[in-house]
Amino acid sequence: MSIVEQGLVVSGDIFGEVDLTVRGIIRGSVFLQNANLHIDQSGYVQGEIRAERIIIAGEVLGDVIAESGLQVASTAIIHGNIRTAKLAMAENAKFSGGLDIQEPEPVELEIRDFKTLSEEDYSKLRRWRMQNHIE
């Protein structure tokens, strides 16, 4: 797990495959593959965020794409569009933008049964979905 601590300002995009907690400021997009993102109450991100699971208690100015699920705390402020498969939003959370809740469709790659996928095929599918912005 990596942490952007309070008092730290990061300018530029962040790419990775490890869980990230943001307590400081990120002025750029955050793209995490197979990893989770937690924006603490003191955290602020100005840019698109994309991760497996996302928890927002701070502020985001940009689009939010959560592969598996998004949890929005009562202290959260989001100015941007949300796309996720599952959403939990607390009372008093502030949100301004569009909302798209959709489950992934297996027919995207003509796959009828996910249970028969090999680990390698599953990895290829996830990479393809990330590249094509498909949840």
Judge whether residue 128 has pLDDT over 90. Answer: no
- Please give the residue range of the domain that contains residue 118: 104-135
> In this structure, are 76 and 130 located in the same domain?
no
Euclidean distance between CA atoms 53 and 76, whole angstroms: 16
- Average pLDDT of the segment spanning 77-98: 94
> In this structure, are 23 and 76 located in the same domain?
yes
> In this structure, are 92 and 130 located in the same domain?
no
> In this structure, are 66 and 12 located in the same domain?
yes
Q: For residue 97, report the phi and psi dihedrals to the nearest 5 degrees.
A: 155, -170
Q: What is the total count of domains within the chain?
A: 2
> In this structure, are 58 and 82 located in the same domain?
yes
Q: For residue 14, report the phi and psi dihedrals to the nearest 5 degrees.
A: -120, 130
> In this structure, are 79 and 49 located in the same domain?
yes
pLDDT band at 106 (very low <50, low <70, confident <90, very high): very low
> In this structure, are 56 and 42 located in the same domain?
yes
> In this structure, are 34 and 57 located in the same domain?
yes
Residue with tokens 């090999």: 118
- pLDDT tens for 38-70 read 999 999 999 999 999 999 999 999 999 998 899
Judge whether residue 81 has pLDDT over 60. Answer: yes
> In this structure, are 6 and 57 located in the same domain?
yes
> In this structure, are 71 and 112 located in the same domain?
no
Q: Answer for the pair 53, 35: CB distance below 8 angstroms, yes or no.
A: no
Residue with tokens 């907690």: 21
> In this structure, are 44 and 7 located in the same domain?
yes
Q: Answer for the pair 93, 73: CB distance below 8 angstroms, yes or no.
A: yes
> In this structure, are 14 and 71 located in the same domain?
yes
pLDDT of residue 33: 86
